[in-house]
């Protein structure tokens, strides 16, 4: 049975290289999906995840997302944007994938727009 995967890391910065202190990420699935044959995952839901003082996903509480490689039909991704603490867009929206392995899944390995 497929499960959500915790996300971590990121080290998101602004255009001057400063960490996005207390900023946040917004994730939105590109299309409605199904997982485990009977669970619907809706694309209309925007998921907001806070960042810490280093621009990383906060560690408490933990945050998890459905990995794209367990969703049916194939080819899904998340539209992801990063914002400052005051709500200014500084990154994205980019098309990004979250995978089921490794656990937790580190956003630090992302290349913007690479699925």
Q: Identify the pLDDT of residue 61.
A: 97
Tell me the sheet residues that pair with 24. Answer: 50, 83
Whether residue 115 is predicted with pLDDT greater than 90 in this model: the reply is: no
Beta carbons within 10 angstroms of residue 39's beta carbon: 12
- The answer to whether residues 49 and 60 touch, using CB atoms and an 8 Å cutoff, is no
Write out the H or E segment, with its range, that includes residue 16: none
pLDDT by residue (tens digit) across 78-88? 999 999 999 99
pLDDT by residue (tens digit) across 24-79? 999 999 999 999 989 999 999 999 999 999 999 999 999 999 999 999 988 999 99
Q: Identify the pLDDT of residue 10.
A: 95
- The answer to whether residues 33 and 41 touch, using CB atoms and an 8 Å cutoff, is yes
What's the pTM? 0.93
- The answer to whether residues 109 and 101 touch, using CB atoms and an 8 Å cutoff, is no
- Residue 46: closest CA among 31, 63, 27, 64: 27
Q: Which two tokens stand for residue 19?
A: 């960490």
* Sign of CA pseudo-dihedral 27, 114, 94, 7: positive
């Amino acid at each position: 049975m497929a499960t959500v995967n915790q996300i971590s890391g990121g080290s998101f910065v602004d255009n001057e290289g400063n960490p996005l202190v207390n900023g946040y990420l917004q994730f939105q699935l590109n299309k409605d999906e199904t997982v485990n044959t009977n669970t619907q995952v809706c694309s209309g839901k925007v998921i907001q995840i806070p960042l810490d003082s280093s621009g990383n996903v906060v560690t408490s509480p933990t945050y998890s997302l459905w990995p794209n490689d367990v969703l049916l039909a194939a080819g899904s991704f998340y539209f992801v944007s990063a914002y400052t603490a005051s709500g200014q867009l500084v990154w994205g929206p980019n098309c990004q994938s979250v995978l089921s392995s490794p656990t937790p899944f580190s956003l630090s390995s992302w290349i913007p727009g690479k699925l």
